[in-house]
């Protein structure tokens, strides 16, 4: 992808997950102080490391960030975001997960909130997360 100066942006692959509870609410996490985009709400997930699939990333990140365990068979791809930030281009698949073990806990200083899909726009999110909301509303 080229910007107006012709510079190329690194493509960053990040995997995100919409954890859905039995009431079809979505879990959002608020980025803690000291992180880029602190204070914004996002879907849990993280950067896909070398040699990982997006599903493996989510299994690892959900364990590290929230203390929950899930399995690849429980992660259903829903949609993706493709968004250019100033210094990189983000590709972010969004998976839906309805089955996991454990109770989500904030292990990295983030705040957690269960939100009804129609209320997701009430929470300020990074620009790449916002286009994912309509697919969740349509699903639920």
Q: Does 93 score more than 80 pLDDT? A: yes
Q: Does 3 score more than 50 pLDDT? A: no
pLDDT digits (tens, 9 = 90+) for 36-63: 899 999 999 999 999 999 999 999 999 9
Q: Tell me the CATH class for 10-139.
A: alpha beta
The answer for residues whose C-beta is within 8 angstroms of residue 53's C-beta and 6 or more apart is none
Q: How far apart are CA 38 and CA 110, in angstroms?
A: 10
* Tokens 């209320």, residue located: 119
Q: How far apart are CA 58 and CA 72, in angstroms?
A: 9
Domain ranges of the chain: 10-139
Contact between residue 23 and residue 49 where contact means Cβ atoms under 8 Å apart: no
Can you point out the beta strands (E) in 20-131? 26-30, 41-42, 45-47, 75-84, 88-97, 111-115
Average predicted confidence (pLDDT) for the chain: 93
**What's the pLDDT band for 7 if we cut at 50, 70, 90?**
low
pTM assigned to the model: 0.91
The stretch 94-112 carries a mean pLDDT of 96
């Amino acid at each position: 992808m080229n910007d107006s100066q012709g510079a190329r942006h690194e493509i960053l692959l990040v995997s995100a997950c919409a954890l859905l509870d039995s009431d079809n609410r979505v879990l959002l996490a608020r980025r803690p102080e000291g992180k880029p985009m602190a204070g914004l709400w996002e879907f849990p997930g993280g950067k896909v490391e070398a040699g990982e699939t997006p599903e493996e990333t989510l299994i690892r990140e959900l364990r590290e960030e929230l203390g929950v365990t899930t399995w690849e068979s429980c992660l259903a791809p829903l949609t993706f975001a493709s968004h250019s930030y100033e210094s990189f281009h983000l590709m972010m698949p969004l998976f839906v997960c309805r089955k996991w073990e454990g109770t989500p806990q904030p292990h990295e200083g983030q705040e957690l909130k269960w939100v009804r899909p129609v209320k997701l726009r009430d929470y300020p999110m990074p620009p790449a997360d916002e286009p994912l909301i309509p697919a969740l509303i349509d699903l639920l």
